[in-house]
Structure 1
């Protein structure tokens, strides 16, 4: 039996991210429709437009949900998370807030805790984080490995992640583990060989942390090219702690996304502007490390596609809240509320090279969030306030 259609009415403001909709206003690509309605069939958007223009014959059998004047927007698309891990690094956070500098070295403490954790413990924690994401309006999310750093551990982390998302990323190249401290190239051999073989069945993407203290541009290139040769899409951490050749590498390899982008040269900006690689910015990191924020205005003004993501991880950004990231991006990264909202939805979809999420247009998956507010502006205007009233994924309410 076919699933019943659902008609969502009483939408005070609908963010479609579809400026091509004839009823939409501009507002920096948000495709806003006032006093709107959504028609959902078989988990996808069947119609979006002003409620006054509803095709009545098409909705006679629909169940109706009235949201009472609330704003509705696409579900958030969080394209950078590290959600499968053991342990806690609250003491590290306290030390950093007391003046100690952030380095990537704390990752190794999480590696030790993760290796010691059972699959049951890791799965239970992961399910809790997924519930957090959903409760804050996120309907599509990526998960990286990277806290195992052995063949068996990286494979099991990705297998656990694949239970809850299709967007899984093999990050064996997170840092060099202690047992390879004197032989980083030997570890790279493992990452591109036996470890890649074990992780390939569970991964869609490959990533590397191209940074001082992690992997050189040459090592990163070798790792990413090995994954690409096996059919994995390319992503890259770069420019978090200092300028490097990482952004140029990402563009050269046609990476879907280069993430962090805190430190960029003029050449980096020009390369990104001439490419289809998305610059994914992670404001939770700078909030939690007191590093300088990326200059989103510089990127946007250069015509670069920008995404926002949480980078939820136990060390440098232990937040799963995309509304929080929007508020920080507006306050500290020189983004407008419309730009930040677009970056957290359609921008994230671009960073995953997907067209079925991040928008509310005919044929896209019916993933959307209902706010306890009349406008998307309130996501930045009311930071820290629980504004998510309901969350729908593939046409079914999940929150």
Structure 2
């Protein structure tokens, strides 16, 4: 690959402590990429132009690391627009709507699912996302869960086995028998296709005891741990996530003081999903409370057809700043470096020397415009190394 120098950057966000402030800002900056990796960042006046085969001019635009979306459900069939419409008319969200997507996904062909997934990946790139996770969970049979993960692996290395999403209709009378399937034949089929295992630990989905069975079985197969918890009400999911050393516990709308203290004393990332609260009219999680306590925080889209059908990380940033108590800098960090921490990745989410050269050129002079101009397509270019 040719060495590429991106110069003329009005504001470069690196998260490199060698540069200015919490964002590692460099103004009037340049970045050198060699073989897909960042090898130098600094003032454009000092750029190693002689080392570059190609020189690209950002014309004064801001450049940020590519977004890291650590929670999505992008492989599914069907549509739930009518559910959204009803919810906006006053019907509350419940986890049971997942089963309608399960039915549609089972009926869809591989080519149909693959084609839709490709469109979603295009959406992600167009909005600045360069690294993303995809969960299963809309098949809930051995073959369908494996199929979803196989398709997801065609577009990302960050795949998550979520067979414990909800109890499917055919096991409604015996949820423990379904958990037996998840930790048995389903895990056998899916573990080779996944990096992570996840459970929806919530009323209407899986109990803490059932979640423990699933997560410990996944850990025994070498999978990293993730957990949905605290979306619909308080519970013991966060305590379980911290106890088991999960990389991330996601949603966190309802957290006790003990939950916050546990998270602050752990390496588990609290991944907040503002698209969910926007789309369900639930209370937004209190990001300020978590940040002030020293909790590691990520933002992710939770793109799915039921509770958060958005793939836009800039939208999530704007909502987090407007309604969750985050500053623009905190929201940008949570959607880049925070997402990388939630995926236990040190090569993405920043532009320090050695990182993947995944970056976004904005149609704006500053990262603040991501929150300042909500809904405006500010991503001029997404560069994926």
- The list of structure 1 runs, each at least 4 consecutive aligned residues, that deviate by more than 3 angstroms after superposition, is none
Distance apart, 1:9 and its partner CA: 0.5
Match of 2:267 in 1: 276
1:152 equivalenced with 2:112 (yes/no): no
Distance 2:344 2:223 in 1: 13
Residues paired across the two proteins, number: 385
2:26, 2:236 → 1: CA distance? 43
Aligned position for 1:363: 354
Cα distance in 2 between the residues matched to 1:385 and 1:227: 41
Q: Distance in 2 between matches of 1:284 and 1:18?
A: 29
* CA distance in 1: counterparts of 2:226 and 2:23, whole angstroms: 26
Equivalent of residue 10 in structure 2, options 12, 15, 37:
12
Match of 1:41 in 2: 34
Q: What is aligned with 2:372?
A: 381
Q: Distance in 2 between matches of 1:362 and 1:269?
A: 33
Pick from 57, 62, 67 the counterpart of residue 71 of structure 1: 62
Q: Could you tell me which runs of 5 or more consecutive residues in structure 1 were left unpaired when the two chains were aligned.
A: 395-399
- Which of 232, 248, 253 is residue 239 of structure 2 equivalent to? 248
Q: How does 1:116-265 map to 2 (within 5 A)?
A: 116-265=107-256
Matches within 5 A, 1:290-329: 290-329=281-320
> C-alpha displacement at 1:69, in angstroms?
0.1
Pairwise CA RMSD of aligned residues? 0.6
* 2:30 aligned with 1:32: no
Task: Give the match's secondary structure for 1:73.
Answer: strand
Tell me the secondary structure at the aligned position of residue 334 of structure 1.
Answer: coil
Alignment-derived partner of residue 278 in structure 2: 287
Q: 1:36: how far off? A: 0.3
Task: Determine the structure 2 residue equivalent to 1:53.
Answer: 46
Counterpart-to-counterpart distance in 2, 1:379 and 1:39 = 25
Consecutive unaligned residues of structure 2, counting only runs of 5 or more, are none
CA apart distance, 1:55: 2.9
1:24-73 per-residue CA deviation (whole Å, 9 max, x = no partner) reads 211xx2111100000000000010111112234433xx201001000000
Superimposed CA distance per residue, residues 177-222 of structure 1 (whole angstroms, 9 cap, x where no aligned partner): 0000000000000000000000011100000000000000000000
Counterpart position of 1:397: none
Mapped contact 2:14–2:65 kept (Cα < 8 A): yes
Query: C-alpha distance in 2, partners of 1:209/1:30?
Result: 33
Distance 1:171 1:57 in 2: 49
Alignment of 1:67-106 (within 5 A): 67-106=58-97
C-alpha deviation, 1:12, in angstroms: 0.1
Q: Does the 8 A contact of 2:145 with 2:163 survive in 1?
A: yes
Shift of the alpha carbon at 1:90?
0.2
- Counterpart CA distance in 1 for 2:49 and 2:204 is 61
**Contact preservation (8 Å) 2:13, 2:63:** yes
Q: CA deviation at 1:308?
A: 0.2
Cα drift, residue 231 of structure 1: 0.2
Query: In the alignment, is the contact (CA less than 8 A) between 2:3 and 2:51 conserved in 1?
Result: no
Q: Secondary structure at the match of 2:209?
A: helix
| 8 Å Cα contact 2:4-2:33 kept in structure 1 | yes
Partners of 2:248 and 2:316 in 1: CA distance: 18
Supply the distance in 2 between the matched residues of 1:56 and 1:379 (Cα, whole angstroms): 30
Q: TM-score, normalised by structure 1?
A: 0.96
Aligned counterpart in structure 1 of residue 101 of structure 2, from 107, 110, 114: 110
Distance 2:113 2:50 in 1: 49
Given that residues 241 and 248 in structure 2 are in contact (C-alpha distance below 8 angstroms), is that contact kept between their aligned partners in structure 1? yes
